[in-house]
């Protein structure tokens, strides 16, 4: 499988590119076992990752979900929207994310471990 972001060859089962860290939609969908779970996003989070997680769950653009949440919050007099977000932030687990940037940079030879030369 080829990463659409950087064009490098990666393993078929990968959820993220080992070179650039981009999320692989094909690998994530093919690797899924069991039902889809609603979780907070670990890769697309502005505040708590709730809107990013909703967008991933419903397969839509996170910007649209954020706009809808803002409109619902304003239309409800702020109480319902803010309460929903805080409760979702506390209850929903964080989705497992890609390797940290330190691990990626160390394996690529560009991180802090390789700059000691």
User: What's the pLDDT band for 18 if we cut at 50, 70, 90?
Assistant: confident
**pLDDT at position 107:** 47
**How many CB atoms are closer than 10 A to CB 54?**
22
Q: Between the CA of residue 100 and those of 4, 6, 21, 32, 110, what are the distances in Å? A: 20, 18, 9, 22, 14
Q: Which residue has the tokens 């990463």?
A: 3
Report CA 80 to chain centroid distance, whole Å. Answer: 25
Q: Which residue has the higher pLDDT, 48 or 16?
A: 48
Write out pLDDT tens, residues 53-105. Answer: 999 899 889 999 999 999 999 998 989 889 999 999 999 999 886 544 434 44
Residue ranges in the chain assigned as alpha helix (H): 25-31, 50-58, 62-75, 79-91, 101-108
Q: Is the pLDDT of residue 112 over 90?
A: no
Write out pLDDT tens, residues 19-45. Answer: 787 777 654 444 555 688 899 988 888
Structural domain boundaries in the chain: 1-34, 36-116
Query: Can you name the residues that pair with 94 across neighbouring β-strands?
Result: 40
């Amino acid at each position: 499988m080829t990463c659409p972001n950087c064009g490098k060859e990666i393993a078929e089962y990968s959820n993220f590119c080992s070179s650039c860290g981009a999320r692989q939609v094909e690998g994530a969908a093919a690797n899924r076992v069991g039902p889809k779970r609603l979780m907070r996003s670990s890769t697309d989070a502005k505040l708590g990752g709730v809107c990013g997680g909703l967008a991933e769950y419903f397969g839509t653009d996170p910007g649209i979900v954020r706009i809808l949440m803002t409109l619902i919050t304003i239309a409800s007099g702020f109480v319902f929207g803010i309460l929903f977000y805080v409760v979702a932030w506390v209850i929903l687990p964080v989705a497992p994310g890609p390797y940290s940037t330190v691990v990626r940079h160390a394996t690529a030879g560009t991180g802090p471990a390789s700059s000691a030369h």
